[in-house]
Structure 1
Amino acid sequence: MLLETLNVIAIIGGTGRAGRYLAQKALESGYSVRMLARNPDKATIKDDRLQVIAGDARNEQDIRSLLEGCHAVINTFGQPVKDTPLYSSVTHTVLTVMQEYGITRYIGVAGGSLNVQGDKKSFLNRIASTLFSILLSKMIADRKKELDLLMKSDIQWTLVRLPFVVEGLETSHIKENLRDIPGRNITNSDIAKFLVGQVNEMKYVKRTPCISN
């Protein structure tokens, strides 16, 4: 089932590893794009439908400038693992501004190590999730806080859980599973394809699908 057609997408993290191909895929799919970039020079796409806004996702005013006039948000904000996790803080700001502007569609990403009620992960994936919760406890705790913020909100959100992200072109198939990570890797081109495909799709609204190649 499709959502009401949404035409202008705001992208956060569009120059990072997971989101590198998001803007291009959104443009190819017929959308106009507003993208936030700390370093606009990294955004090399030239298209009249793409507006690159210099700013920082941690700055509320920059988020306001980005989201003005948009119909949907794709958030692939990323950080080095050693940094203090800010995922929930950034998402909180985004959700607050979305509500003020009347934007209803949000698509975000998280790691496959994030456990969600109802999961039925394989033995190996359960071990991996446990190791991540020990080695990266602050990040996992912040990701859980982010998910809690989404679950308490009234917007039409989707949080996509990813395995290891690798550089690569689109493949012929993306595996999807609501309860477990279906594979070890996914290309960043396929991530872009899947995320953009969710903008006008209701299948995973208020759900946390796992994808892989």
Structure 2
Amino acid sequence: MRLLIFGASGATGRGLVSAALAEGHMVTAFVRTPSKFAVSDEHLRVIIGDVADRQAVDGAIRGHDAVLSCLGVSVPLKHDAAVIAGIGFIVEAMQRTGPARLIYQSFLGVSDSRRQLGPLLGGIIAPLVLRHEVADHEAKERLIAQSGLDWTIVRPPRLGNGPATGRFRHGNGIRAKSLLPILPRADVAAFMLAQVSNATYSRKAVSLLD
């Protein structure tokens, strides 16, 4: 398949690009800072641009079978209106020219999923320390959910490094087993990639936990 990945230069994005290439997909990586993206492959195309640039997003969308987003905030713990606008541009471009399939990485702490995290992360850290990032994710999720696209929102907990384990749970009735749950980025990337051709969570948000 021809996959377009936004946020490809981030830690999860790079893992997603590598996983997609390993499965034989044709990948386009949309990056703002190419110096942070050290992946090369004959099946990889790199587009340098800013997601807040409507024309750049429009030009990138065309010709792909699915779009995946690992976009994060520019500065941790801060509100980032540019990324919210960028998600809006992605949605609008997909509505006009396709494709219909959109996989978006959010956070398990957004909206109704917060109760799955337990009292520390869900009751204190998410609504207080991470309140700006949570509010941004909620705004982006609303844009996606109202889009009419074939979307899946993936909500992992705190992300860690290390290889994929394949040992994690997914669903909406699951709850954290620890005070500060963590999941390897590689597992999140593998799950997101699998959703491209899996309709189980079509037009649904899904939580991931170890």
Q: TM-score, normalised by structure 1?
A: 0.87
C-alpha distance in structure 1 between counterparts of 2:85 and 2:137, whole Å = 10
1:125 paired residue number:
118
Change (3 A) 1:98 1:47: same
Please state how far the C-alpha of 1:30 moved relative to its aligned partner: 2.0
Instruction: Tell me whether 165-174 or 135-144 shows the greater mean CA deviation.
Output: 135-144
Aligned counterpart in structure 1 of residue 2 of structure 2, from 2, 8, 26: 8
Instruction: Let me know the Cα RMSD of the aligned residues.
Output: 2.0
Instruction: Tell me whether 126-135 or 47-56 shows the greater mean CA deviation.
Output: 126-135
Higher RCO, Cα 8 Å, sep 6+: 1
Please state how far the C-alpha of 1:88 moved relative to its aligned partner: 2.8
Please state how far the C-alpha of 1:173 moved relative to its aligned partner: 1.9
Aligned positions of 1:31-180 closer than 5 A: 31-79=25-73, 80-86=75-81, 87-116=83-112, 121-122=115-116, 125-131=118-124, 132-180=126-174
Segments of 5+ residues of structure 1 without an aligned counterpart are 1-6
Q: Deviations over 1:83-135 (max 9, x none)?
A: 3323432211110011111210000111111123xx5835x625523322233
Aligned counterpart in structure 1 of residue 206 of structure 2, from 180, 190, 209: 209
**Contact map agreement 1:13 1:75 (CA 8 A) in 2:** yes
**Contact map agreement 1:157 1:205 (CA 8 A) in 2:** yes
Q: Deviations over 1:178-200 (max 9, x none)?
A: 13454511111111111111101
Indicate the structure with greater helix content.
2
Indicate the SS of the match to 2:164.
coil
C-alpha distance in structure 2 between counterparts of 1:125 and 1:90, whole Å = 31
C-alpha distance in structure 2 between counterparts of 1:173 and 1:142, whole Å = 29
C-alpha distance in structure 2 between counterparts of 1:174 and 1:134, whole Å = 27
Q: Deviations over 1:36-65 (max 9, x none)?
A: 111223332221210011111121122122
Q: Percent identity over the alignment?
A: 24
Change (3 A) 1:141 1:82: closer
Please state how far the C-alpha of 1:27 moved relative to its aligned partner: 1.1
Please state how far the C-alpha of 1:211 moved relative to its aligned partner: 1.0
Aligned positions of 1:186-201 closer than 5 A: 186-201=183-198
Please state how far the C-alpha of 1:25 moved relative to its aligned partner: 0.5
Segments of 5+ residues of structure 2 without an aligned counterpart are none
C-alpha distance in structure 2 between counterparts of 1:120 and 1:64, whole Å = 34
Please state how far the C-alpha of 1:164 moved relative to its aligned partner: 1.0
